[in-house]
Every structure is written in C-alpha cells, then in structure tokens.
C-alpha cells in the first residue's frame, strides 16, 4: 500500500493530534521529529518508523502516534513511560527529507 492510499487516515490522525497540541490539551513527551515533519520523513524511506509520544493534560494518558514505511499509521494510548522504553534510533539529516 502506498502512502497516497493511506493519506486520508494519516491526515485525520495528524490533524486531530495537531489540534490537541496547539490548544494545550496534549503536550509532546518525545518525538523523532515535529508532528508535521513525520509524513515527509516517512515518504523519504530513510527511516523505518517515525514516532511521537504525547501526554494528555487532563487525564495524564500517554498517546503513541507512529508511522511506518509498511503498515498502517498507529494512534493509540500506551503505558506511562513508554517513551523511555522505545528503541529510539537516529534521524537522517533533515536536508535529505524535509520539504
Ligand atoms: Zn485525557
């Protein structure tokens, strides 16, 4: 499945998350790159998974948002502290994928 076919799913999840981050309902705990840079990086095929962990200000729930070269985007609640256990890997230099 190409990124084009998944564009809708991703845009919906991304917009929902962006709205919550912008209005302060959620804040980022840790992320590979800023939210709006995730799709360009995924499309570059330079990094297999691109993830972002955010926390809900109201209830403290940790949310995981992840894009993968293959497979569907994931947007789901996870255990507190999941961002500390994630196997973070380096991000390719921005000039190679940013648009
Ligand atoms: Zn909440």
Note the pLDDT tens digit of each residue in 53-62: 999 999 999 9
Note residues around ion ligand 1 (Cβ under 5 angstroms). Answer: 56, 58-59, 61
The whole-angstrom separation of Cα 32 and Cα 51 is: 6
The whole-angstrom separation of Cα 95 and Cα 99 is: 8
The whole-angstrom separation of Cα 33 and Cα 6 is: 20
pLDDT at 20: 96
Q: Residue 77 C-alpha to ligand 1 middle, in angstroms?
A: 9
The whole-angstrom separation of Cα 9 and Cα 81 is: 26
| 27-76 pLDDT, tens digit each | 999 999 999 999 999 989 999 999 999 999 999 999 999 998 777 789 99
Q: Residue 30 C-alpha to ligand 1 middle, in angstroms?
A: 17
How far does the chain reach from its first CA to its final CA, in angstroms? 22
């Amino acid at each position: 499945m190409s990124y084009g076919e998944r564009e809708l799913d991703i845009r919906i999840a991304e917009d929902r998350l962006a709205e919550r981050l912008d209005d302060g309902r959620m804040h980022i705990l840790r992320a590979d790159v800023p939210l709006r840079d995730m799709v360009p990086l995924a499309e570059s095929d330079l990094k297999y998974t691109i993830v972002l962990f955010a926390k809900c200000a109201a209830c403290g729930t940790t949310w995981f948002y992840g894009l993968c070269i293959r497979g569907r985007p994931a947007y789901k609640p996870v255990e507190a502290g999941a961002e500390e256990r994630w196997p973070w890997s380096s991000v390719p230099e921005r000039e190679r994928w940013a648009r």
